[in-house]
Copies of this chain bind each other. A is one copy, B any other.
């Protein structure tokens, strides 16, 4: 079958690879109908996260179940499903508590948490391919209505819609909250959409790319252009001097200023300034425990200095980390079905799987309008 294969920095190709098969009685094989390129795919793409050449990329997957192992008892062949990016055993302590993002058993390295097609997340090939093997299928798969309605909305259920929503959960967004989101990339936009769904009174989105700020407006948020104004000042102005109740980090360790200079603590510093005393921060932009390509010695070791003393003085709550997709995807699916959520507003391109290499290049350069790319295998 065809799959997107990592060959080295800035080099991916669609190659013929071996088709997956049932390896374990709880596996299912999914024929992929839609698989997305994620911002975090760019970490290995840019050589910033170490990936073995020959690996298959892709952790945002959905499709149709074509085969199930003999012990699968809930999911059936023919089911249309969303595949959460986390692979979780469903029976360890962390899975029991809803932390599928920290499954203690799925990753043979012993590191909590596993996923498809990503460095350090275990030996699971990615799903930018015609077929994907899904372990512990009964636990991991979310069933979708049959047919092809809402395909591009449902495609966002495997990662970024729940991840953005997770940011709002970690940031304690409630009805009436004033929320600031840093980053209008796909995750930041999904956080803005989620904040509105949760009843936020105000959502402010900070970025410096005009096309992405326009999308923020479509979700009902107020855009703040960081290339034009000082974000903390703009947030204080917009909130009558109080500051936001909730702050969401959707940028990560590669934060850079409008001039392109990397400042790994820039967004954290700004968030502490923007959020009022007693507020909360949700950090879903990725910070790495080690980052050999970082600019500073500290950042190489995953040490980030920020205005922690000010955060203490404000009494902030901070939540962070990868999203346990299963905790949210059912409810978000239902919001899509009932017409209340339309995450696909951010989808800019839908192309055949074969065009993955060009799509990676455009998306990596943040070419104007390349917000989110969906790939469709031909099968």
The answer to whether B303 touches A287, judged by C-beta atoms less than 8 angstroms apart, is no
Closest B residue to A315 using CB positions: B321
CB contact list, A302-335 vs B, under 8 A: 302-322, 326, 330-332, 334-335
Binds B, one of A46-54, A184-192, A198-206, A207-215: A198-206
Let me know if B316 and A320 touch, CB within 8 A: yes
Among B69, B170, B309, B318, contact of A287 (Cβ-Cβ < 8 Å): B309
Chain B nearest CB: distance from A331 CB in Å?
2
Flag whether A71 is at the interface (Cβ < 8 A): yes
Q: Is the CB of B287 within 8 A of A312?
A: yes
Q: Is B334 a contact of A307 with CB atoms below 8 Å? A: no
Closest approach, in angstroms, between the C-beta of A80 and any C-beta of chain B?
16
B310 and A340 within 8 A (CB): no
Chain B: minimal CB distance from A201 (Å) = 4
Asked if A99 is at the interface of the complex by the 8 Å CB criterion, the answer is yes
Q: How many copies does the complex hold?
A: 4
Q: Is A78 an interface residue (CB 8 A)?
A: no
Please report the C-alpha to C-alpha distance between residue A332 and residue B312 in the assembled complex, in whole angstroms: 24
Contacts A98-B98, A99-B278, A326-B96; A335 near B199 (Cβ below 8 A): yes
- Given A306-B303, A309-B287, A335-B199, decide whether A91 and B74 contact each other with a Cβ distance below 8 A: yes
Q: Is A90 interfacial (CB-CB < 8 Å)?
A: yes
Indicate with 1 or 0, residue by residue over A228-253, a CB within 8 angstroms of chain B CB atoms: 00000000000000000000000001
Taking a contact as CB atoms closer than 8 A, the residue among B310, B313, B318 that contacts A317 in the complex is B318
Given the interface pairs A99-B278, A278-B102, the reply to whether A309 lies near B315 with Cβ below 8 Å is no
Q: Contact check, B335 vs A312: say whether CB atoms are below 8 A apart.
A: no
Answer yes or no: A301 CB below 8 A from chain B CBs.
Answer: yes
| A44–B170 CA distance with the chains assembled, in angstroms | 36
By size class, the interface of chain A is 35 or more
Whether, in the assembled complex, A292 has its beta carbon less than 8 Å from a beta carbon of chain B, the answer is no
Query: With a CB–CB cut-off of 8 A, which chain B residues contact A93?
Result: 330
Contacts of A306 in B (CB 8 A): 303-304, 308
Is there a chain B Cβ closer than 8 Å to A130's Cβ? no
Q: How many Å lie between the Cα of A170 and that of B73 in the bound state?
A: 33
B-chain residues with CB within 8 Å of residue A340 when the two chains form the complex = 199, 201
Does A289 belong to the interface (CB within 8 Å)? yes
5 contacts between A and B (CB under 8 A): A71-B71, A112-B314, A175-B198, A176-B335, A199-B340
A interface residues (Cβ-Cβ under 8 A, vs B): 24-26, 69-71, 73-74, 89-94, 96-99, 101-102, 105, 112-113, 138-139, 165, 170, 174-178, 194, 197-199, 201-202, 253, 265, 277-278, 283, 286-291, 298, 301-322, 326, 330-332, 334-335, 337-338, 340
